[in-house]
Amino acid sequence: MELYSRHIFPRLMDWVMSGEAFQRLRADLLQDARGEVLEIGFGTGLNLAHYPASVSNLSAVDPADLLPHRVSERIATVSFPVRTTQITAEILPYPNRQFDRVVSTWTLCTIPDPVQALREVARVLKPEGTLLFLEHGRSDDRTIAAWQDRLNPIQNVIGCGCHLNRPIDRLITQGGLRIAHLDRFLLPDVPRIAGEMYRGRATPFPA
C-alpha cells in the first residue's frame, strides 16, 4: 500500500488532474485569487500555473509531500513567494484573519475532518476574505447518491482517503462560512459518481 500511496497514486492523480477540463476549471476559479492566499491540500501544485498576478504570496499546506521535485519545478515558475508546509488543514498555524483568499480544489473530499478544517478556514480568513472552492461531492440525484454511498469504501482505498459522497455545501455551512455563490455541474468525461461538482465562493459570517 505504501508503494501505491507514495509513488503510484500521486503520479496517477497528477496526470488525471492536469487534464484540459481540470485546467480550465482551475483557471476560472482562480481569477478571483488575490493578496495573501492560503491553499489547503496543495497536492502536486497544479493550481500554481493559474494564479493571477494579483496574488502577493501563497501559503500552501498538505500533510503529504507529493512529487516534491515536480512541485519545486512548478513553484519556480511563479512570480510570487510560495511557502509550503507539511501539515493538515484541521489545525492551521496562522493567526486569525490573515488571508484574503483560501483555495480548496478537490480537497474537501479527502480531509479526514472537513468541518474542522473549514472552521479553521473561517478563522484565518479576513472578515472581507473569501474561500474559493472547486470540489466533487454528493449528488442530489438519489440513485447516484446511493451508488456513491455503495462505492465509497472502494474509492476510499483507491483514492487514498477520497470520499465520493460528501455534501460539500452543507459541510461549508457547518464549518461557519456563508455560501455567497454556488454552481453545481457535471465534470465532462468522468463517471457521474465522481463528477458531481460544487464550485463557488464562501465568506466568514460577520463576527
User: Which residues would be at the binding site for ligand SAM (CB under 6 A)?
Assistant: 13, 17, 40-41, 43, 46, 61-64, 66, 88-90, 105-107, 110-112, 161-162
The minimum distance between CB 17 and ligand SAM, in angstroms, equals 5
Cα–Cα dist 92/32, whole Å: 23
CB atoms within 10 A of CB 31: 12
The minimum distance between CB 166 and ligand SAM, in angstroms, equals 13
The C-alpha cell that represents 130 in the structure block: 473569501
The minimum distance between CB 67 and ligand SAM, in angstroms, equals 10
Cα–Cα dist 31/2, whole Å: 37
Q: Which residue is nearest to ligand SAM (CB)?
A: 43
Cα–Cα dist 40/153, whole Å: 24
- The one-letter amino acid at 122: A
The minimum distance between CB 207 and ligand SAM, in angstroms, equals 25
Cα–Cα dist 181/188, whole Å: 21
For ligand SAM, the closer CB: 30 or 144: 30
The C-alpha cell that represents 133 in the structure block: 472552492
Helix (H, G, I), strand (E, B) or coil at 64: coil
The C-alpha cell that represents 102 in the structure block: 483560501
- Which residues contact residue 66 at a Cβ distance below 8 angstroms, ignoring those fewer than 6 apart? 10, 13, 14, 43, 44
The DSSP bridge pattern shows strands 35-40 and 99-105 to be parallel
For ligand SAM, the closer CB: 111 or 124: 111
For ligand SAM, the closer CB: 16 or 146: 16
The minimum distance between CB 10 and ligand SAM, in angstroms, equals 8
For ligand SAM, the closer CB: 31 or 127: 31
For ligand SAM, the closer CB: 65 or 146: 65
For ligand SAM, the closer CB: 89 or 144: 89
The minimum distance between CB 4 and ligand SAM, in angstroms, equals 14
